[in-house]
Amino acid sequence: MEIETVGVVGAGQMGNGIAHVFALAGYGVLLTDISQESLDRGRQVIERNLDRQVSREKISAEDRDAALARIRTTLTLSDLGQTDLVIEAATERETVKTAIFEDLVPHLKPNTILTSNTSSISITRLASRTDRPEKFMGFHFMNPVPVMQLVELIRGIATDQETFDAMHRVVERLGKTAATAEDFPAFIVNRILMPMINEAVYTLYEGVGNVSSIDSAMKLGTNHPMGPLELADFIGLDTCLAIMNVLHDGLADTKYRPCPLLTKYVEAGWLGRKTKRGFYDYR
């Protein structure tokens, strides 16, 4: 089945990046969110990031204009029923995601592939809440989506080969590289990355280093583009905590215990860049 039109649920950090890369690759994109304000903000971010690519001569001004013209927005979730592929990129909370699937599924065409950009939740369990577990899979982008090369493809227990192959072709058309992960908590990238970030927070909590020494140690000592605390702020501390909880609950091993300091920051509403305060102060 040829995929030409794509529905993206959620215009936040991941959703607007996903809409951006699909539109640049020539797909028709229908982007939805629960408020006009979120849709407007998402579109502004896409415009800003496309402009940045034009100014760095990665794409032409014509490419940018054509991509923007391919992105439509709607507040009505059921409008996504016309599309060939739906990517759910809503908040990383299982109840939110399953509520979206329940509302959306009755409107989908029989052949539409349904995917989730979840960074940690069981694909098999999400799939079981839809009418098409064989056409459901994990499709996990990295942030910032227009820059990062990787997409994780995660098969649920029921995902069929045709769906997997179709999504592999989509990754190729986007000019990105796929890594296949089995459906275990947090898949590959976050299974490895989040315990590292959590350990960095423990290192801060125990006073082994301060924010600046921990980040410069990891940047200069291991050639990471960002230190782990800066990266946690970039990803969102609520997302980091949610993923640690999925690892802790799903693998039942104390080595995944979220650092109490991470929990405290999230309780304070210090979620990183998006709230202008996290391990760093962005105000």
Mark 188-207 with x for binding to ligand CAA (rule: CB under 6 A) and - for no binding: -xx--x--------------
Stretch that binds ligand CAA, among 4-12, 177-185, 205-213, 225-233 (CB under 6 A): 225-233
- Residue 147 interacts with ligand CAA (CB under 6 A)? yes
159 close to 136: Cβ distance less than 8 angstroms? yes
Catalytic residue, candidates 16, 38, 122, 140: 140
Q: Which is nearer to ligand CAA, 112 or 118 (CB)?
A: 118
Q: Can you name the residues that pair with 5 across neighbouring β-strands? A: 28
> Chain centroid to CA 22: how far?
14
What is the full DSSP assignment across the chain? ----EEEEE--SHHHHHHHHHHHHTT-EEEEE-S-HHHHHHHHHHHHHHHHHHHHTTSS-HHHHHHHHHTEEEES-GGGGGGSSEEEE---S-HHHHHHHHHHHGGGS-TT-EEEE--SSS-HHHHHTTSS-GGGEEEEEE-SSTTT--EEEEEE-TT--HHHHHHHHHHHHHTT-EEEEE-SSTTTTHHHHHHHHHHHHHHHHHTTSS-HHHHHHHHHHHH--SS-HHHHHHHH-HHHHHHHHHHHHHHH--GGGPPPHHHHHHHHHT--BGGGTBSSSB--
Known catalytic residue: 2?
no
Q: 253 is written with which tokens?
A: 């091993």
- Residue 158 interacts with ligand CAA (CB under 6 A)? no
Pairwise CA distance, residues 195 & 179, whole Å: 20
237 close to 280: Cβ distance less than 8 angstroms? no
Is 1 annotated in a binding site? The answer is no
Known catalytic residue: 152?
yes
CB of 50 to ligand CAA, least distance (A): 8
Q: Which is nearer to ligand CAA, 203 or 239 (CB)?
A: 239
- Residue 235 interacts with ligand CAA (CB under 6 A)? yes
CB of 13 to ligand CAA, least distance (A): 9
CB of 141 to ligand CAA, least distance (A): 7
Quick one: which of 82, 130, 143, 275 contacts ligand CAA (CB under 6 A)? 143
- Residue 149 interacts with ligand CAA (CB under 6 A)? no
CB of 125 to ligand CAA, least distance (A): 18
- Residue 144 interacts with ligand CAA (CB under 6 A)? yes
Q: 206 is written with which tokens?
A: 């125990």
- Residue 148 interacts with ligand CAA (CB under 6 A)? yes
Is 143 annotated in a binding site? The answer is yes
Is 111 annotated in a binding site? The answer is no
- Residue 53 interacts with ligand CAA (CB under 6 A)? yes
Binding-site residue ranges: 10-15, 33, 92, 97, 119, 143, 274
Please give the residue ranges that form the binding site for ligand CAA (CB under 6 A). Answer: 49, 52-53, 56, 58, 119, 142-144, 146-148, 189-190, 193, 225-226, 231, 235, 239
Binding-site residue ranges for NAD(+): 10-15, 33, 92, 97, 119, 143, 274
- Which residues are the active-site residues? 119, 140, 152, 190
